[in-house]
Amino acid sequence: MKALHVVASINREVGGPAVTVSRLAATLAQLGVETTIATLDYARHGPQLPSVGVRLESIAATALTRGLRGWSPRFARKVAALAEAGADVVHNHGLWMFPNYYARQAARARRVPLVVSPRGMLDEWSLRRSRIRKAIAWQLLERENLASAQLFHATSAVEAKAIRTARITQPIAVIPNGVDIPDAAQFPGRERLQKKHAELTGREWLLFMARLHPKKGLAELVSAWRGLAMRFPDWQLVVAGPDLDGHGAEMRAFAAASGLSERITFAGMLSGAEKACALANAGVLVLPTHSENFGIVVAEALAHGTPAITTHAAPWQELREARCGWWVEDREEALKEALSEAMSLSPDERRAMGARGRMLVAARYSWDRIGQEMLAAYNWVCGNGPRPDFVRQ
């Protein structure tokens, strides 16, 4: 089996898809799939994430490419050549950009199945953003891109429903993203971040970790924190993530105007040991998102033994079912209530919740299991195996 993955970017600061696509490709390679990632390199958004055992074919994004949603004739030729060299399946990740069109062209020319992972880009909230531009893209490219797919990949039942709402009738493989389960004995100590941010010393950490984007609900979180900070003087809100479009600067100004500058630590983009330090030592993770097809940071927090809070806009009802977090309505008041409850628990109670979270993700979200399911989906769509139970027709 030879699989060609086409994705606009795997640069570190673009968020979840960079992590999950890279990790999925590496897992498939470990299972014996000859795997290639074709992508554009947006160097200003950090280094490209590595995928062990995966061939990486990357074209630098020029100023024109950046301004025209990934338009690059050179990249189009590269994708076509990679497919023609023997791909059995072309797997496109994301929508609304030219690389998605190049994936469809390559699969059609090679006459192999096209698998499409929308990566949350068909959710109602996402569709409302840049509505006019997306309407134009739909008429010019995207409608035919989606019509050409033999199989869709959704990371949750919620995303599968969004795909059907878009009047897409092809089969859907519901396969979640995976997560690595780190060794608890290797978790970094608090000192790694406390040395950089002295205000974290002696306080519990309320951790937000995501792109600083309106979709992620940071404004609502800061507003809720404004009403809680005085009640919980032993807690510090830590905001970690890249600011790609200026929303982070807006939130800093909002925090200052709210008198919260000393109670919010804007830690910037965290990776490697610093990211592990934040996830493992936080008292609770909070992702008050307005739209999420999966929410990989929730799984990462649970894998590090940290309970999580997120909204019904993310498919994490398991937080409530497994008693490892809070799954609340996408309203500021509901968020505020959950935050208050979480911060009122004792450290032992939160650790018990985190332990249940680690058991949950180990059982259901290991990358080995995810890779096996994706390979089964590939074999089925290529006519080499039975239809898996997780494929909805």
Q: Are residues 218 and 347 in the same domain?
A: yes
Inter-residue contact 103 to 90 (CB < 8 Å):
yes
Q: What is the pLDDT of residue 48?
A: 94
Q: What is the pLDDT of residue 130?
A: 66
In this predicted structure, the answer to whether residue 198 has a pLDDT above a threshold of 90 is: yes
Report the range of poorest mean pLDDT among 6-15, 96-105, 135-144.
135-144
CA distance 39 to 323: 39
Q: Are residues 46 and 192 in the same domain?
A: no
Q: How many domains does the chain have?
A: 2
Q: Are residues 329 and 377 in the same domain?
A: no
Percent of the chain at pLDDT > 90 equals 84
Q: Are residues 193 and 282 in the same domain?
A: yes
Q: What is the pLDDT of residue 120?
A: 78
Q: What is the pLDDT of residue 124?
A: 72
The mean pLDDT value for 334-358 works out to 98
Inter-residue contact 113 to 92 (CB < 8 Å):
no
Q: Are residues 215 and 300 in the same domain?
A: yes
Inter-residue contact 293 to 118 (CB < 8 Å):
yes
Q: Are residues 147 and 267 in the same domain?
A: no
Q: Are residues 189 and 47 in the same domain?
A: no
In this predicted structure, the answer to whether residue 14 has a pLDDT above a threshold of 90 is: no
Q: What is the pLDDT of residue 141?
A: 75
- The per-residue pLDDT of the chain, averaged, comes to 93
In this predicted structure, the answer to whether residue 75 has a pLDDT above a threshold of 70 is: yes
In this predicted structure, the answer to whether residue 183 has a pLDDT above a threshold of 70 is: yes
Q: How confident is the model at residue 58 (pLDDT cuts 50, 70, 90)?
A: very high
Q: Are residues 51 and 145 in the same domain?
A: yes
CA distance 340 to 302: 20
CA distance 362 to 76: 39
Q: What is the pLDDT of residue 21?
A: 95
Residue 326 Cα distances to 110, 156, 241, 320, 354, angstroms: 47, 18, 22, 6, 12
In this predicted structure, the answer to whether residue 17 has a pLDDT above a threshold of 90 is: no
173 strand-pairing partners: 153, 391
User: What's phi and psi for 5, nearest 5 deg?
Assistant: -100, 130
Q: Are residues 43 and 170 in the same domain?
A: yes
Q: What is the pLDDT of residue 389?
A: 96
Report the range of poorest mean pLDDT among 45-54, 199-208, 297-306, 316-325.
45-54
Q: Are residues 133 and 259 in the same domain?
A: no
Q: How confident is the model at residue 293 (pLDDT cuts 50, 70, 90)?
A: confident
For residue 80, the enclosing domain spans 2-178+366-392
The Cβ of residue 198 has, within 10 Å, a number of other Cβ atoms equal to 9
CA distance 11 to 367: 21
Q: Are residues 97 and 241 in the same domain?
A: no
In this predicted structure, the answer to whether residue 140 has a pLDDT above a threshold of 90 is: no
Q: Are residues 271 and 191 in the same domain?
A: yes
Q: What is the pLDDT of residue 138?
A: 65
The CATH number that applies at residue 205 is 3.40.50.2000
pLDDT tens, residue by residue, 217-244: 999 999 999 999 999 999 999 999 999 7
pLDDT tens, residue by residue, 102-137: 999 999 999 999 999 998 777 776 666 666 777 776
The mean pLDDT value for 285-297 works out to 93
Secondary structure string (H, E, C) spanning the chain = CEEEEEEEECEHHHCHHHHHHHHHHHHHHHCCCEEEEEEEECHHHCCECCCCCCEEEEEECCHHHHHCCCCCHHHHHHHHHHHHCCCCEEEEECCCCHHHHHHHHHHHHHCCCEEEECCCCCCHHHHHCCHHHHHHHHHHHHHHHHHCCCEEEECCHHHHHHHHHCCCCCCEEECCCCECCCCHHHCCCCHHHHCCCHHHCCCEEEEEECCCCHHHCHHHHHHHHHCCCCCCCCEEEEEECCCCCCHHHHHHHHHHHCCCHHHEEEEECCCHHHHHHHHHHCCEEEECCCCCCCCHHHHHHHHCCCCEEEECCCCCCHHHHCCCEEEECCCHHHHHHHHHHHHHCCHHHHHHHHHHHHHHHHHHCEHHHHHHHHHHHHHHHCCCCCCCCCEEC
CA distance 141 to 103: 12
Q: What is the pLDDT of residue 122?
A: 78
Report the range of poorest mean pLDDT among 145-149, 328-332, 379-383.
145-149
